[in-house]
């Protein structure tokens, strides 16, 4: 019997989660907002590079705060090469699940990664990529409602 079946209605959090990441938000390609309608706050390249020893590329969920506000938001993080765009460096891009009017380059971003959603995929169209991102956002919001994940939104790491 797997461990999962022994735990009913609850989730255990196992290494490497929770994974704590922080850094100054850097400028990406600007495609997130422009082409996808899903702006992402990119973590610095050295953070993206060092995470490689801890997690695989893919899409993740958790909590994040851009440090010019006090509010913690659910997030989805895309980590990897963006096969649809064939990037040459791994990026760690965080989409805060909320409508923001402005960009916030230069702000510190703090992120707690709590779980994995799916591998990075290539897509035959931009529409198909956007559709999957919308689904990732629903998965993240839904997962984070669980008590063991919810409590990390109050973690000291995300406080001022």
Q: Which residue is nearest to ligand RBF (CB)?
A: 84
The rounded Cα 138 to chain-centroid distance in angstroms is 13
Q: Which of residues 38-67 bind ligand RBF (CB under 6 A)?
A: 38, 40, 59
Q: Which is nearer to ligand RBF, 55 or 159 (by Cβ)?
A: 55
38 - beta bridge partners?
Answer: none
The one catalytic residue in 11, 14, 35, 93 is: 93
Q: Which is nearer to ligand RBF, 36 or 67 (by Cβ)?
A: 36
Confirm if 59 and 118 have CB atoms less than 8 A apart: yes
Confirm if 38 and 74 have CB atoms less than 8 A apart: no
Among candidates 58, 74, 59, which has minimal Cα distance to 112? 74
Sheet (strand 41-42) strand order: 19-24, 108-118, 58-66, 73-80, 91-96, 41-42
Q: Which of residues 79-138 bind Mg ion (CB under 5 A)?
A: 93
Q: How many residues bind to Mg ion according to rule CB under 5 A?
A: 5
44 binding Mg ion? (CB under 5 A)? no
- Strand 41-42 relative to strand 91-96, pairing: antiparallel
Q: Within 13 A of 38's CA, how many CA atoms are on the CB side?
A: 21
Instruction: By CB under 6 A, name the one of 24, 55, 84, 116 that touches ligand RBF.
Output: 84
Q: Which does 133 bind (CB under 5 to 8 A by kind): ligand RBF, Mg ion, none?
A: ligand RBF
Q: Which one of 6-14, 46-54, 80-88, 101-109 is the stretch in contact with ligand RBF (CB under 6 A)?
A: 80-88
Active site residue 93: yes
116 binding ligand RBF? (CB under 6 A)? no
20 - beta bridge partners?
Answer: 112
Catalytic residues: 93
Interface contacts to ligand RBF, rule CB under 6 A: 28-29, 31-32, 36, 38, 40, 59, 76, 78, 82-85, 93, 95, 120-121, 129, 133, 136
């Amino acid at each position: 019997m797997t461990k999962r079946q022994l735990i009913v209605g609850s989730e255990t959090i196992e290494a490497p989660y929770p994974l704590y990441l922080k850094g100054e938000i850097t400028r990406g390609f600007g495609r997130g907002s422009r082409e996808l309608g899903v702006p992402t706050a990119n973590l610095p390249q050295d953070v993206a590079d060092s995470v490689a020893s801890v997690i695989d590329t893919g899409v993740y969920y958790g909590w994040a705060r851009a440090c010019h506000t006090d509010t913690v938001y659910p997030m989805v993080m895309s980590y990897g090469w963006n096969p649809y765009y064939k990037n040459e460096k791994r990026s760690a891009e965080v989409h805060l699940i909320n409508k923001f009017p402005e960009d916030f380059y230069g702000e510190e971003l703090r992120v707690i990664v709590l779980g994995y959603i799916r591998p990075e995929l290539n897509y035959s169209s931009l529409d198909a990529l956007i559709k999957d991102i919308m689904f990732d956002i629903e998965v993240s919001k839904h997962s984070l409602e669980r008590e063991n994940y919810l409590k990390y939104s109050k973690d000291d790491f995300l406080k001022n």
